[in-house]
Structure 1
């Protein structure tokens, strides 16, 4: 019996910019079409993800991390993922928007411990307190372009924290140090630089990031490995391991299997336009 060809994904992603209050929203506009049903792997990243999807036929469900479905026309926020890659099942045709959110900005926006969001996607309206009811009312009449909608703009203007709240937060800057150094930073150095004990640093990271400093740094080190693998296919795994700060290929491969859920050599099998966009696009608000 002849095997049927694998389902293919039609994806287009573009960058958009919107000024809301004193924030610059850099967000992704997504168009997705899946003939049949497709499972997509999303390697972990060091940002929360705020997103909304619409479409008459589009269906999306997490296959791990609580196996929760994503309702259409609803804003979700994903916490950081502590284990392997995120697996999502998609079918149908839809469009939507996604924004990467710095975890410490997310903490000051949501005003909840980010450990409560770890390994989960949550409806934004359920995380917010008084503003949640307003968001549910807006979602009931959601247009395809929420960032161009005056009512949604007013909603975001209302919930965005004053920038001084996170700019004066040492954990915000500690996170930025990890990002800038691609995870190649020691916790002892971070605690010394930001004038706190390692125990306090860990407690503050669990509160405002959702993971320990070590676990968060590992996300960025492995993302750097994936960027090197995708951008430098001519390089050997030994060269990539060295560039990413690993002692040898064995350590890199073990981390990759444990934290990404497949081996470095299998990365090409899991690549498609959607997860490459997810990994590399600089969408964020700040």
Structure 2
């Protein structure tokens, strides 16, 4: 499995975290993979075989070839149907809003086809990205496409952006009250702004970031004592840590240690 990341151009660095590619031509038996929420929306282009996505009701669908995946508030189970070839744009938590033609909140936990998001322009960029085999050309194509659409800079709310930075810098450990005091904005107003721009509340984003930090420590092998890990990452106690873990990862920390989470570990380590 070959996973690579690439930096965005400076004109888009405010909205795009990175580009990444994933290729796997292995013919081994397909395994379900769990993608854990990280607070970022993604624009995915499958130039390999498609992926099956498992839904909360136990049913499954085949994902579109090219789509935007909304904010995840629960683990996403996917499974390759053949060889993997993916090019993706990973946005900052509030980075997709300037390009959204539909409500961010409506996209939650959903793979929305590019054509539904961008109309015929979405279909055109999809065809161009899939026609080329060069990562550099794919990045050039998508940057040209997104820069043409980056006309609503006023949608990049300064308060939301600085609050996101505060949450990220604090590893999700600040309470909403502390964040509200730092930004000097009422909690309810801040929550409304977050819902519009990110599709998550400040509390949800903090919870996701706090758990991501804990997962990174777990995967590094630096800490295997759950009590120390919970308190070190500002969880109220071990039981709260396990509950949040189950909500966002879909299993207990003990099961996570013993799982075969190839894609999960790739994206957490990024």
TM superposition score normalised by structure 1: 0.81
Q: CA deviation at 1:90?
A: 1.3
For the Cα contact (< 8 Å) 2:64–2:113, is it kept in 1?
no
Q: CA deviation at 1:252?
A: 1.1
Alignment partners' CA distance in 2, 1:147 and 1:163: 26
Instruction: Say which structure, 1 or 2, has more relative contact order (CA 8 Å, 6+ apart).
Output: 1
Which of 129, 139, 146 is matched with 2:126 structurally? 139
Which of 2, 15, 19 is matched with 1:27 structurally? 19
Alignment partners' CA distance in 2, 1:201 and 1:34: 48
Q: Of the two, which has the highest radius of gyration?
A: 1
Alignment partners' CA distance in 2, 1:277 and 1:115: 26
Partner of 1:79: 70
- Residues 17 and 179 from structure 1, CA distance in 2 versus in 1: closer, same or farther, beyond 3 angstroms? closer
Partner of 2:30: 37
Aligned length: 261
- Residues 271 and 183 from structure 1, CA distance in 2 versus in 1: closer, same or farther, beyond 3 angstroms? farther
Q: SS of the counterpart of 2:34?
A: strand
The correspondence of residues 1-286 of structure 1 with structure 2, limited to 5 A, is: 11-17=1-7, 19=9, 22-24=11-13, 26-32=18-24, 33-55=26-48, 58-64=49-55, 67-72=60-65, 74=66, 76-83=67-74, 85-128=75-118, 132-141=119-128, 142=130, 143-145=132-134, 148-149=137-138, 152-161=142-151, 165-166=155-156, 169-281=158-270
- Residues 189 and 248 from structure 1, CA distance in 2 versus in 1: closer, same or farther, beyond 3 angstroms? closer
For the Cα contact (< 8 Å) 1:30–1:96, is it kept in 2?
yes
- Residues 165 and 71 from structure 1, CA distance in 2 versus in 1: closer, same or farther, beyond 3 angstroms? closer
- Residues 159 and 53 from structure 1, CA distance in 2 versus in 1: closer, same or farther, beyond 3 angstroms? same
Alignment partners' CA distance in 1, 2:182 and 2:151: 26
The answer for unaligned runs of 5 or more in structure 2 is: none
- Residues 148 and 250 from structure 1, CA distance in 2 versus in 1: closer, same or farther, beyond 3 angstroms? same
Q: Deviations over 1:51-92 (max 9, x none)?
A: 11112xx230110258442233x2x21111223x11002121
For the Cα contact (< 8 Å) 1:96–1:144, is it kept in 2?
no
Q: Deviations over 1:94-122 (max 9, x none)?
A: 31212221131211222543111112111
User: Over aligned residue pairs, what C-alpha RMSD do you find?
Assistant: 2.4
Q: SS of the counterpart of 2:43?
A: strand
TM superposition score normalised by structure 2: 0.86
Decide which structure has greater strand share.
1
The answer for unaligned runs of 5 or more in structure 1 is: 1-10, 282-286
